[in-house]
């Protein structure tokens, strides 16, 4: 039996796990993840989040191809992506990039790609696409924490979904759906570990900012 983590242990150890085994994940665990996601709050309690668990080899291959195109554009010379950040040195960033590249090359082999969608109730286009995004991300985070608690690796990704029309065509989504996040899920090849974040005194104040 999987040892269950406390909610705080899950929160502090929920790193983006990109290197995943191709070993199948039992369906009951995948359903458990989506059920946890489905417990999240939404604006006006609209409950417009929709979840697609992709296991079909052909659909995974098509999503992997969309991801490849966008990852290659993202890491290209003109992308403006910083090589280092004040809180993440170049070496650590390179390690992250290596994992992104691994994921690019292996996405089609990952056992399940879970797509978090939002049903807008009407055709969605352009800048309107990301309104109400606050009603999908709590569910995505629930899913990531549930995966961590069950010993499954997962990561939130958006690059594969940059071309919404292409994603909608691959997934046969209705035109009123937006595909907001693709979460590859599987057993991790590497080790889980703690997340590293900025210290609280840098990101928080009491009462007024200055």
Contact residues: ligand FMN, CB under 6 A: 15-16, 18, 96, 100, 103, 155-159, 195
Tell me how far, at minimum, the Cβ of 182 lies from ligand FMN, in Å: 8
Tell me how far, at minimum, the Cβ of 66 lies from ligand FMN, in Å: 11
Q: Tokens 């919404």 belong to which residue? A: 164
Please list, in sequence order, all residues whose beta carbon lies within 8 angstroms of the beta carbon of residue 31, skipping any fewer than 6 positions away.
none
Tell me how far, at minimum, the Cβ of 97 lies from ligand FMN, in Å: 9
Tell me how far, at minimum, the Cβ of 195 lies from ligand FMN, in Å: 5
CA-closest candidate to residue 196, choices 87, 63, 98: 87
d(CA 185, CA 154): 5
Residue 188 DSSP one-character state: B
Give me Rg for the CA atoms of the chain.
18
Tokens standing for 92? 């650590």
Residue 50, helix vs strand vs coil: strand
Tell me how far, at minimum, the Cβ of 111 lies from ligand FMN, in Å: 17
Nearest residue (CB) to ligand FMN, 26 versus 76: 76
Q: Are 19 and 154 in contact (CB under 8 A)?
A: no
Question: End-to-end alpha-carbon separation of the chain, Å?
Answer: 50
Nearest residue (CB) to ligand FMN, 122 versus 165: 165
Tell me how far, at minimum, the Cβ of 206 lies from ligand FMN, in Å: 26
Nearest residue (CB) to ligand FMN, 123 versus 197: 197
Q: Are 123 and 175 in contact (CB under 8 A)?
A: yes
């Amino acid at each position: 039996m999987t040892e269950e983590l406390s909610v705080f242990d899950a929160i502090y150890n929920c790193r983006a796990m990109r290197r995943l085994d191709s070993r199948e994940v039992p369906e009951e665990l995948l359903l458990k993840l989506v059920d946890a996601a489905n417990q999240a709050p939404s604006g006006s309690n609209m409950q417009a989040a929709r979840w697609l668990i992709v296991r079909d080899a052909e659909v995974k291959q098509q999503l992997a191809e969309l991801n490849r195109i966008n990852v290659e554009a993202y890491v290209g010379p003109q992308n403006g992506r910083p090589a280092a950040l004040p809180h993440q040195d170049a070496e650590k960033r390179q390690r992250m990039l290596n994992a992104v590249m691994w994921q690019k090359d292996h996405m089609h082999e990952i056992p399940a790609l879970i797509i978090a969608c939002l049903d807008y109730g009407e055709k969605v286009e352009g800048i309107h696409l990301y309104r109400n995004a606050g009603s999908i991300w709590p569910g995505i985070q629930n899913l990531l924490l549930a995966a961590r608690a069950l010993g499954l690796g997962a990561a939130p990704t958006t690059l594969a979904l940059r071309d919404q029309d292409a994603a909608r065509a691959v997934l046969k989504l209705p035109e009123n759906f937006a595909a907001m996040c693709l979460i590859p899920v599987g057993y991790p090849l590497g080790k889980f570990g703690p997340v590293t974040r900025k210290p609280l005194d840098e990101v928080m104040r009491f009462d007024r900012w200055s």
